[in-house]
Amino acid sequence: MLQLQEGLTQLQQLDPAGVGARSLSECLSLQIQRRMTTDLEHKNCLELAFLLAQNHLTKIAQKDWGKLRQLFKQSESAILEAVAIIKSLQHNPGLRFDTNVEQWMTPDVVVKLNTKGKWVVHSNQAFKPRLTLNQEYSRILKENNSKKSNSA
């Protein structure tokens, strides 16, 4: 079990910050911790954001600023600044590395139940390829067909 915890700790130190988290709260907390090492200018705000992310996401979702002010003995502006930091974080940090593009399948036919209770199959005309024949080729084809019928 100790090896598992050590492995998880190592994983959570990789980029992007928040990878390997077991919950949203942990994911956000990991990102804030990483930022604390580089953004010393906002240390107090980041510490408050860290505490909020760890245990008070529900109160943030409910916008219960009064309760949070009481709990942390902070001004509403300090709470809102910390919340803004939390909102700027990635809830799914590995998503930016996802290179899969969603592919949509379009059916060739559509099957619907009509008002009489019968199933009706329709060709999906919107996505059916449209073929056109060049006017010149059409003329040549007609001439060729008429020559064949005259010679027969």
- Across 79-93, average pLDDT: 96
Query: Residues with Cβ < 8 Å from 80, sequence gap 6 or more?
Result: 65
Q: How far, in Å, are 8, 11, 27, 66 from residue 22 at the CA level?
A: 10, 12, 7, 29
> Residue 21: pLDDT band by 50, 70, 90 thresholds?
very high
- The per-residue pLDDT for 109 is 81
- The per-residue pLDDT for 129 is 65
Residues 84 and 119 in one domain: no
Instruction: Indicate the number of domains in the chain.
Output: 2
- Across 13-19, average pLDDT: 93
Last residue of a domain, one of 72, 96, 120: 96
Last residue of a domain, one of 96, 122, 137: 96
Residue 30 inside a domain? The answer is yes
How far is 143 from 145, CA to CA, in rounded Å?
5
Residue 116 inside a domain? The answer is yes
- 152 vs 124, residue with greater confidence: 124
- pLDDT surpasses 90 at 131: no
- pLDDT surpasses 80 at 2: yes
Residues 31 and 90 in one domain: yes
pTM score, whole prediction: 0.64
Query: Residues with Cβ < 8 Å from 68, sequence gap 6 or more?
Result: 52, 56, 59, 60, 74, 79
- Across 121-145, average pLDDT: 79
Residues 22 and 76 in one domain: yes
Helix (H, G, I), strand (E, B) or coil at 115: coil
Lowest mean pLDDT, pick from 35-44, 53-62, 132-141: 132-141
